[in-house]
Structure 1
Amino acid sequence: MSVPEWLGDVPTWIGAGGAIGAAWFAYQTITSQRQQIGEQQEFIAEQTRFMGEQQQNLELERAELRAAAEDRQWAQARRIRMAHHTAWTTPDSEGNASEDDHWVVTVINDSDAPVHQVDVRFGTAYLASEVWEWNPVWGGQRAPTERMMRPVHLLGPGRGARFLSQQWSAATTHNSRPTLYFTDDSGARWALDSYGKLDEAPLDGG
């Protein structure tokens, strides 16, 4: 029995089968590659999200460490006080009080660490004319006993110093309110004015 011509010959069928097999293999290969690429993209996206989360966590930790360090700095700075900053009068030769003519500023270190380069400026141009050691436990019962150099290089925990301005007219005294400058134990410079406002200051300030 002969094969009808429209069915073709055996080689043709074998060739067609091979082509179909090759196409199916190519299709499977492409499908597999697409699946692998999709899995790789998903893995990369997951790793990117993970790295992003890790970066955010690191930034938060750094911010918390910076905030903690700033809190520690401010904690010490807030415990440095100008306990007395009053304008005083100097009695005349007959013992009569005149108008306020100078400032007396008592600085006390209430923190548990020393502060450095402690100084007081009056107004924008005047420096203290005298600096004396002051023990906070004395209160107002005793006068200072030992003169100190300005700026005070180191003021230890629980220690104090008393700064006296020059004598001026009442108007100059009123317009030359004191500002305390000091460097905390970590090296930050601070300024505390007579109204209690505390700010960081330039390292060469005061």
Structure 2
Amino acid sequence: MRLEVAVGPLQWGDVPTAVATVFTGAAAWFAYQTIKSQRQQIGEQQEFITEQSRFMEEQRQNLVLERAELQAAAEDRRKWQARQVRMVDRLVPVGTQGAALRSVEVANGSDAPVRDLEMKFGTAYVADEVYEGQGDQERGPLALGERWMTPLWLLGAGRAAVFRSQAWPESTAHNNRPTLSFTDDAGVRWSLDSYGKLEEVATA
């Protein structure tokens, strides 16, 4: 017995559709891979940008701290000499009538002179007398040496001066507290009061 298989004609109309389907699938796969790769690249770029931003912020904060430290160090250097000028205020009884005067010892503990020293008592009074100070402030009142001119033009390194007010009733002497103005070796003008408050004085 002989078996015959009939083969029908090729359906050419289905070939373009099949090819188009294959290419569409391939294009979709490539597009997916491209998008996936781009997303991965974008994620890596965003991570890099975040790390760079964090690094730059840390650098900025470090620079701010360093600048603040440098400014503080410069301020300390600028104030160093003025901080070496020390003032001791003493209320000295005069006679037996309840009068008193203020005797203010100023010691320049720096290694350079200070200039143009002016002592004011309260807001209206200036020093009546100024003397060379002799001795050690830590051991008691300084002895009065040579009388100097007031305002005092110069007080050398390691030297001391004693400024004295006029005599007042003790209550008046007590209320008129002293304030010293002086110029340091760098030309900066300072004000030092009897409480130890040191301030730079603005000059025109």
Relative to the length of structure 1, the TM-score reads 0.75
Q: Deviations over 1:36-82 (max 9, x none)?
A: 11111111100110011111111221222233344445654443222
CA distance 1:128–1:155, change in 2 (3 Å): same
CA distance 1:75–1:158, change in 2 (3 Å): same
Match of 2:105 in 1: 106
Match of 1:173 in 2: 173
Matches within 5 A, 1:1-80: 1-2=7-8, 9-72=14-77, 75-80=80-85
Give the Å deviation of 1:108.
0.7
Rounded to whole Å, the distance in 1 between the matches of 2:109 and 2:148 is: 21
For structure 1, the 5+ residue unaligned runs are 92-96
Instruction: Report the residue type matching 1:144 in the other structure.
Output: G
Match of 1:94 in 2: none
Higher strand share: 2
Q: RMSD of aligned C-alpha atoms?
A: 3.1
- In our comparison, the structure showing a higher alpha carbon Rg is 2
Q: Does 1:190 align with 2:195?
A: no
Match of 1:144 in 2: 145
Contact map agreement 1:85 1:178 (CA 8 A) in 2: no
Aligned length: 194
Relative to the length of structure 2, the TM-score reads 0.76
Q: Secondary structure at the match of 1:145?
A: strand
Give the Å deviation of 1:107.
0.8
Instruction: Report the residue type matching 1:108 in the other structure.
Output: A
Contact map agreement 2:105 2:142 (CA 8 A) in 1: no
CA distance 1:154–1:71, change in 2 (3 Å): same
For structure 2, the 5+ residue unaligned runs are 1-6
Rounded to whole Å, the distance in 2 between the matches of 1:15 and 1:172 is: 111
Rounded to whole Å, the distance in 2 between the matches of 1:160 and 1:172 is: 26
Q: 1:82 aligns with which of 87, 103, 109?
A: 87
Q: Kindly, what percent of the aligned residue pairs are identical?
A: 49
Contact map agreement 2:134 2:143 (CA 8 A) in 1: no
Rounded to whole Å, the distance in 1 between the matches of 2:143 and 2:35 is: 96
Contact map agreement 1:102 1:166 (CA 8 A) in 2: yes
Give the Å deviation of 1:109.
0.6
Match of 1:163 in 2: 163
CA distance 1:166–1:158, change in 2 (3 Å): same
Q: Secondary structure at the match of 2:146?
A: coil
Give the Å deviation of 1:112.
2.6
Rounded to whole Å, the distance in 1 between the matches of 2:198 and 2:10 is: 104
